Amino acid sequence: MFVDSAGAIVQASIDTEGKFAAQKVVVGNNKVAVSYVDDKINQYAKEIAAKGKGSLKPITNMPKLDTENMLTLPAKYSMPDQSGLFFDVKSGENSYNIDLK
């Protein structure tokens, strides 16, 4: 996610090789945020939704979320004001290697 000085947001998806292409990012200094949701969380949400579908009763026997070997990033990187990441976008094509230390 790129956030310009006026607060406009441009988002792009990162592929499995770590590459991304963001379109229409405003020229100038942008705050940058990076977030990741492990597919285990998406699967867990689908299981919960399937258990509760069509019922007004509380869900019992909740599925367990397997957090072992789950990929995560420190939460600070998902917040543009806290990530510490910035990129000065120039006119034309830019390249930015995001270094998450």
Give the C-alpha separation, 44 to 64, whole Å.
8
pLDDT tops 70 at residue 96: yes
| pLDDT for the residue 7 | 96
- Which range of residues forms the domain containing residue 68? 38-72
The two most distant CA atoms of the chain are separated, in Å, by 55
The verdict on 52 and 79 lying in the same domain is no
The verdict on 82 and 93 lying in the same domain is yes
The verdict on 51 and 61 lying in the same domain is yes
The verdict on 80 and 53 lying in the same domain is no
The verdict on 78 and 96 lying in the same domain is yes
| Span 60-95, pLDDT tens digits | 777 777 777 777 888 899 999 999 999 999 999 999
| pLDDT for the residue 59 | 66
The verdict on 30 and 49 lying in the same domain is no
The verdict on 67 and 89 lying in the same domain is no
The verdict on 61 and 83 lying in the same domain is no
| Span 20-55, pLDDT tens digits | 999 999 999 999 999 988 888 888 888 878 776 766
| pLDDT for the residue 61 | 72
Decide: pTM greater than 0.85.
Answer: no
Give the C-alpha separation, 98 to 87, whole Å.
9
Domain count within the chain: 2
